[in-house]
Structures are given as structure tokens and as C-alpha cells.
Structure 1
Amino acid sequence: METEVDKEILKSAGAELLPDGRKGLRIHDWEIETIRGTILTSLAHEQWEEKLKTSHLPEMVFGENALVLKHFRSNTKIHFNAFDALAGWKQEGLPPVEVPAAAKWKFRSKPSQQVILDYDYTFTTPYCGSGVVEKDQETVVLYEDELADNGVSLLTVKVRVMPSSWFLLLRFWLRVDGVLMRLRETRMHYVFGKGETPTVLRESCWRETTFKSLSAKGYPVDLAVYSDPGPISQRLPVIKQITQKLMIPHKV
């Protein structure tokens, strides 16, 4: 999604567009850039598999996509990318979700091999960003998988920049049809010019429930109701929540 930004509004907020055709802006001590590219090529796909020590990757991995926030005075970078997110998935190594349809799935990676579902095919990740430490809004897709038409696994990151602050949402959304839903969100917020030590507030919240549990509570289980995690997130019980303050030094 591309958003037109009024230069006069930017100027009044103390901001400017990035030079050299890059997508994003500079505001106060921050440079915020969104980078978009194509899905992994066959060669890059093989290289990622080798590096991650896996033979399984999501159907669509946007390896060139990234969101980068750089704090000038400290040279601190907070960035979000698909490779680090998948590294988190590989490290967490959740057991595969049990679903009747899975037994009928065809191979998902090597054409010469029939897949044995002994890995987390949902690509659930604990990833909450990488880094050393209301006029522009863009969403970057890091990876996506339709789980062989049995649901969706989607990782996106979105930033909103306002005259007074920036707000970021990293969202992993999983729906295994008829079985479970999982929502892992990381929100980050920074207020410009507040306090002597620049501080980013980060909150991670993991929610999860089964379709069976929703039905027992009287909620509908029609898949059309659960196409967007936003409106129904409050129906998913919280299983983990962490709030942190990331202190950014004034100098390198």
C-alpha cells in the first residue's frame, strides 16, 4: 500500500521524504524506511533453506522486504525482515498442529519427496524485531502461506508516523481452519523529544484458542468471520504478554 504524503504537512511536522527515491521519511532523530521487493527466487530459496537448516519455507517469502528505523544520534537500528523471523520459527520448533486434512496434503517443498509433517508447518514465530538495542502508514508483508488451502499463516509489519510519535505493529496471524487460531503481536511506540533518554516502549502479546473452545463459548465458527484478526482478537485468550522499555543511547 502506497500513501501519498503532503510535503507541506511533512514540513510543518519537521519531517521530509527520504532522498534517492527511497520510500519513507526523516523526522526528528529518526529515518524510517520501507523496502519492498519480489518473492525469493529458486536460488535464493535454496540458499535460505541451507542457512536455516530446513527443507521447508512458506509458500511466499518476501526476502527483500523490510522495515528499517534508524536513530541518527546513536546509530541504533530497529529492523524487521523475513529471514530473522524464520530463524525464530526454526529455533522455537513448535510441534505440528494436528489437523485431519494434513494427512492428505501433497509435498510442500521437494517434488521428489512426500512431506512428513514433523515440523511446524504454520511457521509460527516468536520474532519481535531485529536491532541493536498521521500521515504516512505502510504495511510490509514478510511471508505468507495458505497452508494448502486449509487456512492462513501471515507475518506483516506496519508503521504509522505522526507529528508527535511513531507507532509500529508486527503481527503474526495464523488460522488453521476448524482447528485453531493464533495471534502474536508486537507493538512499539516512540514519542519524539520526550525525556532525556530516548526510549522505545515495546509490548508483545500472544493470543491463541481453538475453534472448539470458541464454539463452546457460543461464538460462531464460520471461517468468513475470522478472515481478519483485528475485529476478533479479543475473543482469543492471552497466553503471554511482555512489556519492555528499550533505552537508546545518545551517542554511539
Structure 2
Amino acid sequence: MAVNGQQPLSSYASSASDGGNSIVHQGFKIMTRKLPILKAEPIDEMTRQLGITPPEMIFGDNLVSIEHLDSGWRIQFTAFEALDKVDKTSQSMLQVAHSKEWQSSREKKHEGITEVVKPFDWSYSTDYKGAIQKSTPPFQPSQKPIPLELLKRPDPIIFFDEVMLYEDEMADNGITLLSCKVRVMPARLLLLCRFFMRLDNVLVRIRDTRVYVEFATREVIREYVAKEEKYEIIRQKLSMRGLDAPAQLREPNSLNDLLPVVDTTLEHLIIKSYIARQLLSNSSSPYAQNSSSHPQPQVKATARLSEPKPYESKNGDVPVDGPSQTIAHKVAAETRRLLPSVTETYVAYGVTERLVKECAHQAEYSIPQRNGKDEIIPKTKNGEDLGVGSGWWYETLGLTPTFNTWAQVTFLHMYLLTVRMRCFPAKHAPTWHQHLLNHFFYIAEDRMVTVHNVRSSMARNNYLKDLFIQWRGLLAGYDEGLIRGDAVLATAVWRNVFKADEDLDFRGLGEVVSYMRGVLKGLDDMNDDTVARGQVVFGDPGSERAGVLVSSRMMASLDGPRPGKNASISAQTGR
């Protein structure tokens, strides 16, 4: 990680196994982790790496991070990285002067005061602005401030947490602490990392780092503001306002407006998926070598798969995201040659994200009442939020527009893609399977928050665990159905999609099974290169009805002879 834009000299390896609290929203993952104070052994290791004694209360395993999943851009805040920015040389004249003044003011009451003045910045003051991935674009100087008017809007807060990184009472002569707060709203987020130091009778200092993210534009603004003032001046200002100075001096929020600014910086960046976009726009694919068994490069239009309409370039290639440039092709090809394992992950990540969105779109629904303050969301008899949906799965098949229905229909289409991806080269297939599943859980958790207002991370995690169990069972059931026949496959669909409803329309069940078989045939007709580009668009399951209504040979024999040639033959033979 790069700390304040530079690579740290050392790194502390956290022993924490707790995954913490997290939320995935608009392509960003925001995570916090809060664990107890470090024990003796980790503190000794941190002391060895830092070269200074850590504060009295050090939360070395705590963490706050913001990550953009598509590009890999990430910024995080930890105690070790912050302490690594503390002056370890005692060369700062300002800090030395304050320590002498503080010692002079206390020497009559504390004879051993010289023991507190250590050969480093004993106030643990840090200008820490967070650590970003070294391989991602750095912040650039900017004049654009954080839009406070947007943050003042009464937007709902879908995620909030506060994390303490370290604290020290400076031998009962003040306090120094570093903490982080993060709040996530539907359209943006704000993170505040605040260092606060109060040295009694000497100095008050606040250093704030704010990270603002606008989800729609992927713009990130980082603002650093350092403030400080003499202790006595602040005490007088509080007294002039008729406030309880001793009490207010313990509250950074009460002091922030009283301190003059001594340093400030503004930076920003626009997050872009540089490598992923170049690779996805490349005309070649890591699966081209495996496409000889499927010579047709275009998706066949069938009753089950719709013909996609990608941009067609002049040279006959079909890039995913629009016109590709020769330079981008060369960069992508060279990157693939030098970093095959890395580019594989980027390609799989981007394509599977598109494919999962296509799967999720099939049974899309909404809950209109969620936008009203006093409106009550209707419930099903099982207590699920009842939404409004359109399309074949709801209007023709008669499924109930709920989160569970959406998940099961999405799972069904993901399963069809999973079967096709099993035909990828063995070393590639697991990566694609994992990214496909990961993207589903990203959008599922996002839907829980934005559509169903499930703000408890514990509740969301429980739902996600249940979904994972359902996915594992679904894989086994559908696999068995593909091998043993349509009757077994229909039973698996009935259990999962229809929730084992005994009053279902069996013709609809037959259409779903026929649709699954048809999609698998269409996917089999595609070569690996086409699938790896994400050129899959699912068609209308309703087109299967005509085939489902045709009687089988067994049903025809039970219903009697049909009119026409077969009937006349039966009459002549007496059968």
C-alpha cells in the first residue's frame, strides 16, 4: 500500500480473522473492522517494525477501507500506517518546544516529567491521509472542494460505522487519539479520519482527512485540513462564550471551529477500469485457442437466445464496449503476454459482471412504496416484501414478484452459464465460476439495502448465507435433472422456482424445462471466445409453449388416434 501517495517502509501483518462489517453499493465495497486492543506479542512486533513505542491503547487490527471492485482501486486506514507517519527523529522544533513548555508548566507537580519526553513525537501526531494501492492511479492536486450542499441533504444513511485506531492519555496530561467515521448514502459516501490532540496548558491540535466519493461519476475527493492553537487561547474563547471550558476541551467537535487552519490540501481522481476496459475491447480472447470445436464466431439466434446487437467495427471485429483502438489492442495483448494470470482475473471479472446483470434482468421487480415515507409495503403470506414485476416470469407464469423469486430466476440463468463455463479450459473455469457467483452476491446485497431497506449487516449476512446454501442445493438438483431426464429436472425447478407449489400450471413448468434445454443448446453452439466476451442475451421463454403443447407419443396413445393419416391406418388395421 502507498501511504499518502508513497510506499511505506514496513508493513504490519494483522492477525485478525474477523471479516468485519461491509456493504457493497454502486460497485464500491465499504468495510470496517473493530477488534479489541492488541495483546503483548503483537504490540512487541509492531514496536519492532515502527521503531517507536505504540500508544497506550492500540487497535492494530482495526480497519476502514473503500474499494472499487471493478478497477481494484482501494484506500484504507489502519493504526500501523498512521503511526508510521509519526516523527521518529525528534527533529521537529515545534514539537520539541511544546514538550519543553509542557515540562516547565508541570515540573513542580511532577518531578519525573522528563520520562514522558521520549526521543520521538510523544504526541503521536500524524498527517496520515490513508493508504492506496500502489498499482492504481494516485490522487492529483485539485481546487475542487467537497460539495457540502450535497452532504447536507436529508438522504437516508444505508451504512455507518466509527472505528478507533489508537488513543493515549499522555501520562494523564492530555489526550491524543485517531479515529475514523464513514457514512454511506444512496448516491455518495463520506469518510472522516480525525487526529485529535490536547496537551494541557500547551496546545490543541486537530488534523482531518476527508474522503468523498460520488458513486455515479466515480469521482473521489480527498481533503486534508490541519488546525491548531494554544491551549490558553482556546480556553479563553470558550469562557467568553459562557461554556464549560474543561468539558468542551474534551470534545473535538466543539473545538473545531475555534482552531485556525495551518495547512490544507485538496486532491481528486476519477476511477476508471483501465486494464479491464482495454482487455475487454481487445479483439482476441484467452479462449480463442479452444474455439476450434465451435467454428461459428457469432451468437446464433434461437428461440431461447436473442441475437445481441454489438457495435460492429470496420475490420469485422465485435468489441464489447464500442470502437477499439490499435494502441489499446497492443497494450492489452502485451499485458496478456506478460501477466496472463492477472489479465484472466480482469477479463473474467468484467464479463461475469455483465452476464450476472443479464441474468438478474429476467425477473426484475420494484417496490413503489419504498419511496414514500408513510406508505406500507405489502407482504406475502410468508412475510416477504411484495413488489411489482412485469414480463413472462410474472405475467404469464404467475410467479410472485419478491426477492426470493428474483433470486431463484437469476440462479436458474446463472446455472445455465455455469454449465457452459465448465467447458472452458480447466485452469480458467474456476475463476469464471467464482466471479459469476461473487457478482450475484454483490448485487443481491445491494438490492437488500436499496430496495428492501435491510440496514443490519448481520441480517444481510444471514440472508446471503441462506442464498449460498440454496445455490449449492440448486446445482446438485439441476445437474441431476440434466443427466436423468426432464422429469427430474422439472422436479428441481418446481422445488426452487415454484417453491413446491402444488397449484402450479404444469404447462408453465414444462416451458421452463424446455427453455433451459434450449438455452443450453444455444450456449453449446457458441464458441468459447464468444461466451468469454459476454455476448449472451436470453430470449423469451414464452416461445416454448407451442412445443410444450404438442402431445408426446405416450400421451397420444392415451388420448386415442388423431384425425388424419394415422387415424385411417388405425381404422384399416383395427388397432
Q: Same fold per TM (> 0.5)? A: yes
Q: Is the 8 A contact 2:226 2:263 kept in 1?
A: yes
Change (3 A) 1:235 1:105: farther
| 2:78 alignment partner in structure 1 | 81
Query: How many positions carry a matched residue from both structures?
Result: 223
Q: Is the 8 A contact 1:68 1:77 kept in 2?
A: yes
Amino acid at match of 1:205: V
Secondary structure of residue in 2 paired with 1:149: coil
TM-score, length of structure 2 as denominator length:
0.37
Deviations 1:27-75, CA, capped at 9 Å, x for gaps: 0110111012121211111111111122x21000000000111101111
Q: Is the 8 A contact 2:79 2:166 kept in 1?
A: yes
Secondary structure of residue in 2 paired with 1:172: strand
| 2:35 alignment partner in structure 1 | 37
State the Cα distance separating 1:225 from its structure 2 match: 1.6
State the Cα distance separating 1:192 from its structure 2 match: 1.1
Deviations 1:82-117, CA, capped at 9 Å, x for gaps: 000000014685434321366538699xxxxx5553
Q: Is the 8 A contact 2:223 2:265 kept in 1?
A: yes
Amino acid at match of 1:240: D
Q: Is the 8 A contact 2:220 2:269 kept in 1?
A: yes
> Separation in 2 of the partners of 1:125 and 1:87?
8
Change (3 A) 1:107 1:26: farther
**Corresponding residue to 2:208 among 159, 165, 185:** 185
Q: Which has the higher strand share?
A: 1
Q: Is the 8 A contact 1:59 1:144 kept in 2?
A: yes
> Separation in 2 of the partners of 1:163 and 1:79?
21
Secondary structure of residue in 2 paired with 1:213: helix
Secondary structure of residue in 2 paired with 1:147: coil
**Corresponding residue to 2:62 among 48, 53, 65:** 65
**Corresponding residue to 1:233 among 256, 265, 274:** 256
Secondary structure of residue in 1 paired with 2:85: helix
Q: Is the 8 A contact 2:166 2:178 kept in 1?
A: yes
| 2:199 alignment partner in structure 1 | 176
> Separation in 1 of the partners of 2:169 and 2:88?
22
> Separation in 1 of the partners of 2:191 and 2:20?
19
**Corresponding residue to 1:208 among 228, 253, 264:** 228
Change (3 A) 1:106 1:138: farther
Does 1:158 pair with 2:155?
A: no
Q: Is the 8 A contact 2:106 2:113 kept in 1?
A: no
| 1:243 alignment partner in structure 2 | 266
Change (3 A) 1:199 1:106: farther
Secondary structure of residue in 1 paired with 2:201: coil
Change (3 A) 1:211 1:144: same
> Separation in 2 of the partners of 1:180 and 1:74?
43
Show the 5 A alignment for 1:10-21.
Answer: none
Deviations 1:179-214, CA, capped at 9 Å, x for gaps: 1100000111111112xxx32101100000002333
Range with bigger deviation, 32-41 or 200-209: 32-41
Q: Is the 8 A contact 1:157 1:171 kept in 2?
A: yes
> Where do 5+ consecutive residues of structure 2 fail to align?
1-17, 139-156, 276-575
Secondary structure of residue in 1 paired with 2:83: helix
Amino acid at match of 2:230: T
State the Cα distance separating 1:172 from its structure 2 match: 0.2
| 1:123 alignment partner in structure 2 | 124
- Using the aligned pairs only, state the percent identity: 30
Instruction: Kindly indicate whether structure 1 or structure 2 has the higher relative contact order, using CA contacts under 8 Å at least 6 residues apart.
Output: 1
> Separation in 1 of the partners of 2:270 and 2:130?
15
Q: Is the 8 A contact 1:81 1:142 kept in 2?
A: yes
Q: Is the 8 A contact 1:80 1:129 kept in 2?
A: yes
Range with bigger deviation, 165-174 or 34-43: 34-43
> Separation in 2 of the partners of 1:91 and 1:116?
13
> Separation in 2 of the partners of 1:105 and 1:154?
26
Change (3 A) 1:92 1:78: farther
> Separation in 2 of the partners of 1:116 and 1:154?
18
Q: Is the 8 A contact 1:154 1:173 kept in 2?
A: yes
> Separation in 1 of the partners of 2:119 and 2:19?
45
> Separation in 1 of the partners of 2:89 and 2:127?
7
TM-score, length of structure 1 as denominator length:
0.81
